[in-house]
Structure 1
Amino acid sequence: MLSSVNYKDENIKTIFIHIVAVILLFSPQVNAINVISNITAETTTLSVTQLRRIYSMRQVHWQNGIPIVVYVLASKNPLHQQFCREQLRLFPYQLDRIWHKLTFSGYGVAPIEVATESELIHAVKSTKGAIGYVENSLEVKDVNIIKIDD
């Protein structure tokens, strides 16, 4: 009796492992994210804390005094959600709440939302002091790629 229970447990484990393997095989691949800035920002490295301060609109100027212009994708965009979780270590709804609070209180403005990554790249390239994020698989030129330190 005992051996038949172990046999069933082993079968269940094997089936479970195969199901997980198939799910992972067919799930969309998640790419890493590059944080990019306009070349006028003159910044190549930010800490997670600094990046979070920028995206929560608490840091509004670069070290060289140029105003920061923040660009984002829509909150429902998978890349935006990944950026919030992995880079900012926040949930997207937490960031939305911060922006709404600033906007409705009159103490600040929300970031500028763009529809696509190509629009975001163009906006960052052409806006002095701009910052944004893209999949690292995209070829970006004429912008700073900012390294994020833990």
Structure 2
Amino acid sequence: MEKDSIIKKIYLLWLFIVLGIASSTVYAVEVIMHPSVKESVLTTSQLRRIYTMRQIHWADGSRITVYTLPRKHVLHLHFSKERLQMFPYQLDRIWNKLTYSGLGVAPITVNSPQELIDAIKNTPGAIGYVDNVKDEESVRVITITD
């Protein structure tokens, strides 16, 4: 009897683990940009400089236009943590400091991933992020390295 009880407990533990893994949402955050941007690879450090508004021009001298989703959006949370390796509140502090000191501007916030894609494809020099790129001809997915 004791052996059956142990087997049942192991089975239930395995079942909870499998269900937990299967139910968790996995986000593959892709960084996208306007096709006019020449860069094809960015480091995490470069991406962080762009999103903290310390790098405002591409290598060819053209202006970078940064787009982001609202701070509470799940995709923004994942982008901040996974791609920038920062917490969203850290970005908010940086953007607020730039805005209220008059030393810079915060990124342009759009309401949805589709609005972000539309903004990127209509703005030369633009950069943003999405979880799923459907029309790869209108925007370019960029590779991020460490």
Give the TM-score normalised by the residue count of structure 1.
0.86
Which residue in 1 is equivalent to 2:106? 110
Which residue in 1 is equivalent to 2:12? 15
**Cα offset, 1:17, TM superposition:** 3.1
Which residue in 1 is equivalent to 2:127? 131
* Number of matched pairs: 146
Which residue identity lines up with residue 124 of structure 1 in the other structure? I
**Residue identity (%):** 45
Q: What pairs with 1:44-123 in structure 2 (closer than 5 Å)?
A: 44-123=40-119
Which residue identity lines up with residue 26 of structure 1 in the other structure? S
SS in 2 for 1:133: strand
The 3 A distance-change label for structure 1 pair 14 and 145 is: same
**Cα offset, 1:9, TM superposition:** 7.3
CA–CA separation in structure 2 for the residues paired with 1:88 and 1:39: 22
Which residue identity lines up with residue 36 of structure 2 in the other structure? T
Give the TM-score normalised by the residue count of structure 2.
0.88
CA–CA separation in structure 1 for the residues paired with 2:145 and 2:9: 42
Which residue identity lines up with residue 63 of structure 1 in the other structure? A
Q: Can you give the 5+ residue segments of structure 2 that lack an aligned partner in the other structure?
A: none
Which residue identity lines up with residue 130 of structure 1 in the other structure? A
> Which deviations, in whole Å up to 9, do the C-alpha atoms of 1:86-113 show, x marking residues without a partner?
1111111111111111111111111000
**Cα offset, 1:18, TM superposition:** 2.2
